[in-house]
Amino acid sequence: MRSGFDVIIIGGGVVGCAIARELSRYRLKIGLLEKNLDVGYETSGRNTGVCHGGFAYDVGTWKAKLCLEGNRIMGDVARELSFPFKRCGKVLVGNTQEDYNRLLEVIRQGEAIGVTGLSMIDDAELHRLIPGVVGNFAMLSETSGILDPFQMTIALAENAVQNGASFFFGQEVTGIRREGDAYVITTPKETFVTRWVVNSAGLSCGKISDMLGLTGYRVIYSKDDYILLDQRLGREVSMPIYTVPSNTYMGIHVTVTTDGNLLLGPTAQDTEDNAYYGVEQKNLDFLYKAAMDIWPHFTKGDYIRTYSGILPKWADEEGRIQDFKMEIVDDVAPRAVNLVGIESPGLTASVAIARHVIGMMREREAFPERADFNPVRKGIRRFAEMTAEEQAEAIRENPDYGELICRCQKVTRAEILQAIHNPLGVSTVTGVKYRTRAMMGRCQGGYCQMRITRMLEEERGLAPQEITYAREGSQMLYGLVREEAHHVEA
């Protein structure tokens, strides 16, 4: 039994990690339980990585308000925590009079929310911004941007750990009960005792809400399939390209990532299964066609990966999607923060959500501030992003920067070592991947994965059969081929 926690956060998505980070400003014993082996493994790591402007949500909703606030502070947060973020703007392209009117409506709605930097641009301006785009005009949102969702989630988590929070992986919450003033939270591995509990379980928010006695929420799921394209193409697209949104679907986007890949998606389909991430052929076909309509400068030969993500949405009886639910119901579950239906724009809004939620907690209890809170987290310095002079200097200081492990993303041994010895203690292969970009390029680890699994064995003292790709049980190797083989230096 692990006791004495002031706060246990259930769920290591971007919102849970943001809450952990913002709570670590106070003198509290904080724990975060995550059922996967790393943070950001579900909804937070499986999306477009767009930092939304906030114009797409109904006036007066939390989605609108917290997205706007999250967008406003994103630059500062990214600087403090060293994750990639670029306020590059985005366009919604249109062709017909109907599109034009709809976009004017979007601008009116955005301005009512308080979004700035929205304007209509003509054909010439649109093609000056993105030469290859198909469209007659567009709405430009200057405050929109792109960020790396893995890096953001990891950065928040690492900064929380730096400031004293503890993260526990492979811990799926199976029960919550109250004993006096405490909550006793059980997982198949351990029991945690805490005064406060936060439900930021994302796709499992309904289940955890029920465990807290806050029943009656209907959570539905929407699945998005995506295609990731070669980095070469990203150079030609300066900002995300969206189509004119309908009331229910934001439409297909051609998005550029902070790493310069192009991303086609999403597909937005209702699904019953909130844990099935399989990509469907018909969706890939749809994405190809739909993306060709707005940016016809790629081929199937540019594909490097497909993936999907699932969003949890709180819906009413008629299936109408509701706002973010953020509540503390004192008479049913005191000191329990319940978050339901945190979907898009949850990534943009995450830090704003965290601050709002902590405000709700502090209305009920005074949290003493820590004098030694350090808001700055330094990430892994990327060789690929250094100038030639910086590269030479980095190799002089640490020769591991002179040994390239992942060729296509130019990731060095020094970076892989830092990722293997990450502050969260994650030891999966995807843990290295999301922290360094190794294996994310066009050969998808064809050149470097053997080196990386060997480094994981050596550095973490793992047997070959203990090397885990991503989820628990995702075993990569079945042991040695021969017991006393003398392996060739590869």
Q: Which residues bind other proteins (CB under 8 A)?
A: 227-228, 232, 275-281, 284, 300-301, 303-307, 388, 391-392, 395-396, 399-400, 402-404, 407-408, 410, 442-447, 449-450, 453-454, 464, 468-482, 485, 487-490
Which residue, among 485, 405, 396, has the nearest Cα to 453 in the 3D structure?
Answer: 405
Shortest gap between Cβ of 172 and other proteins (angstroms)? 14
CA distance 475 to 463: 11
Residues 6+ apart with CB under 8 A from 304: 228, 229, 230, 261, 441, 442, 444
Judged by DSSP in three states, 38 sits in coil
- Of the pair 320, 482, the CB lying nearest other proteins is at 482
Q: What is the largest CA-CA distance in the chain?
A: 74
Q: Any bridge partners for residue 370, and if so which? A: none
Shortest gap between Cβ of 318 and other proteins (angstroms)? 32
Residues 6+ apart with CB under 8 A from 308: 46, 223, 224, 225, 226, 277, 278, 279
The number of beta carbons lying within 10 Å of the beta carbon of residue 314 is: 22
DSSP letter at 443 equals T
Cβ neighbourhood burial of 83 (10 Å; 0-12, 13-18, 19+): buried
Shortest gap between Cβ of 12 and other proteins (angstroms)? 18
Residues 6+ apart with CB under 8 A from 298: 229, 233, 262, 291
Shortest gap between Cβ of 308 and other proteins (angstroms)? 9
- Of the pair 76, 459, the CB lying nearest other proteins is at 459
- Of the pair 67, 229, the CB lying nearest other proteins is at 229
Shortest gap between Cβ of 373 and other proteins (angstroms)? 38
- Of the pair 261, 348, the CB lying nearest other proteins is at 261
Residue 487 annotated as catalytic: no
Selected catalytic residue, list 52, 421, 486, 487: 52
CA distance 490 to 483: 18
- Of the pair 41, 217, the CB lying nearest other proteins is at 41
Q: Which residues are catalytic?
A: 52
